[in-house]
Amino acid sequence: MQVLVIGGGASGMMAAIHAAAGGCRVTLLEQNKKLGKKLYATGNGKCNLTNLQMHPGDYRGNDPAFAVEALRNFSVSDTLSTFSEMGLMTKERYGYVYPHSEQAKSVVSILTLELRRLGVRVLLSCKALCAGQENGVFYVDAELTEEGRRQRLFANCLVLASGGLAGQNLGTGEVGYEICRLFGHRLFPTVPALVQLQTAERFLRPAAGCRADADVTLQVGEKNYRENGEIIVTDYGISGIPILQLSRYVAMAKKEEVCVLHLNFFPGKEKEDIRALVEIQLQKSFALERTAEEAFCGMLPDKLLYALLKEAGISGSEAAGCIHEQQRKRLASLFGNLRLTVTKTLDFTKAQATAGGVDVSEIHPHTMESRRIPGLYITGELLDIDGTCGGYNLQWAWTSGALAGKALAKAVKP
């Protein structure tokens, strides 16, 4: 059986490997000059390829249960065995899994070696322009970009693995979504996910670069979303894992909905506890005749503390004993409930994932086969599933790719 795979990224390579291992004759089309270009950039070049801790909340979309169901059929341990069988040694840190070399390149190399061993025909610099089906046969019109010519390729089955829109210069594009539409699939609007947020308040700008642990609540209209972890103040707004994980809800907010972040820099502590902390620090500093800056030294990174003191109307050099009741209250409130108005997310070039995409109610969760068009398979980020930070998006790519490849293999040898 002839199989065409559009996209030589994570899910496309995984699909091609499983299909070829099962006896399919596979041709893989990749628009870039090399396979897995995005993989090189993952995990800051280390490739956080999966996570040993899987919870249902790690996946988002209109039907995250679809991902959970798929993961039951190709799990994290299936992924690790597959990579181990291919010869990749991995290491784990707090559940996060990386290649032992901590070089993303190793993951691409192992996948490429396996594609070669299985005889997968790889066409690089080959961009799919459109696809269709005639008399039960799939075709893909592709442009061989280096040679400047076009070619029509045919197959019994087609895997769409062309990825989402996230990542700068890594080989993203709309073609995959357009092909899904042409085949009659319903798509939810695509927006950036796992991306930094721009905020309106300017008083935090001098604290750019500061990192602090925080409980973070994002308020979108009437709804609240919560995360916890290290935030990073930036010169345009705010970043850090909890912020990235909340960003999809900002991107999906309706125009009329106001998005506000509430940061508590003393995780788990209530308003009264933080008030008490401020008072204790002040009590200690009266006898020592400290300044305001000195009184709160060590509670937060210096630049962040100075920005919050200033916002509370407190001069850092004034005597701690001179800080009046209103200022103390204001400072405690900035420590425990700093409100930041979100103006927008940064765009797809800075995002690590795409939220939205192909409606998974039209896809079989055990095979990734289209319920509309038998023989058509859709994998990875094209689908309306996005994961949180920590290896969950790549796990989704491995799972969906492997399930498609295995289903194709089964179709050859029922």
Ligand X SMILES: Cc1cc2nc3c(=O)[nH]c(=O)nc-3n(C[C@H](O)[C@H](O)[C@H](O)COP(=O)(O)OP(=O)(O)OC[C@H]3O[C@@H](n4cnc5c(N)ncnc54)[C@H](O)[C@@H]3O)c2cc1C
- Which spans of this chain sit near ligand X (rule: CB under 6 A)? 6-12, 29-32, 37-38, 41-43, 47-48, 127-128, 161-163, 166-167, 170-171, 173, 175-176, 352-353, 380-381, 391-394, 397
CB of 25 to ligand X, least distance (A): 19
> For tokens 């799939």, what's the residue?
138
| Nearest partner of 26 among 401, 370, 357, 374, judged by Cα | 401
CB of 263 to ligand X, least distance (A): 25
Q: How far is CA 310 from CA 199, 207, 230, 248, 313, in A?
A: 18, 12, 23, 32, 5
Can you name the residues that pair with 214 across neighbouring β-strands?
229
Residues with Cβ within 8 Å of residue 347, at least 6 apart in sequence: 192, 195
Inter-residue contact 44 to 198 (CB < 8 Å): no
The distance from CA 210 to its chain's CA centroid, rounded to whole angstroms, is 23
Exposure of 24 by Cβ count < 10 A (0-12 exposed, 13-18 middle, 19+ buried)? Answer: buried
CB of 339 to ligand X, least distance (A): 30
Distance CA 266, CA 288 (A): 25
Annotate 280-311 with b (16+ C-beta within 10 A) or e (fewer).
ebbeebeeeebbbbbbbeebbbeebbbbbbee
Q: Which is nearer to ligand X, 137 or 170 (CB)?
A: 170
Q: Which is nearer to ligand X, 362 or 381 (CB)?
A: 381
> For tokens 């797809």, what's the residue?
348
CB of 76 to ligand X, least distance (A): 12
CB atoms within 10 A of CB 409: 18
Q: Which is nearer to ligand X, 176 or 336 (CB)?
A: 176
CB of 46 to ligand X, least distance (A): 7
How many Å from the N-terminal Cα to the C-terminal Cα in the chain? Answer: 12
CB of 42 to ligand X, least distance (A): 3
Q: Which is nearer to ligand X, 136 or 148 (CB)?
A: 148
Q: Which is nearer to ligand X, 36 or 375 (CB)?
A: 36
Q: Which is nearer to ligand X, 143 or 213 (CB)?
A: 143
Exposure of 81 by Cβ count < 10 A (0-12 exposed, 13-18 middle, 19+ buried)? Answer: exposed
Residue 22 tokens, joined: 């099962």
What is the amino acid identity at position 258?
Answer: V
State the residue number with the nearest CB to ligand X.
9
What is the amino acid identity at position 243?
Answer: I
| Nearest partner of 383 among 31, 63, 72, 78, judged by Cα | 63
Q: Which is nearer to ligand X, 264 or 399 (CB)?
A: 399
CB of 169 to ligand X, least distance (A): 10
| Nearest partner of 54 among 355, 381, 395, 397, judged by Cα | 395
Q: Which is nearer to ligand X, 48 or 82 (CB)?
A: 48
Q: Which is nearer to ligand X, 79 or 285 (CB)?
A: 79
Distance CA 196, CA 247 (A): 7
Q: Which is nearer to ligand X, 140 or 309 (CB)?
A: 140
CB of 127 to ligand X, least distance (A): 4
CB of 403 to ligand X, least distance (A): 13
CB atoms within 10 A of CB 146: 10
CB of 11 to ligand X, least distance (A): 3
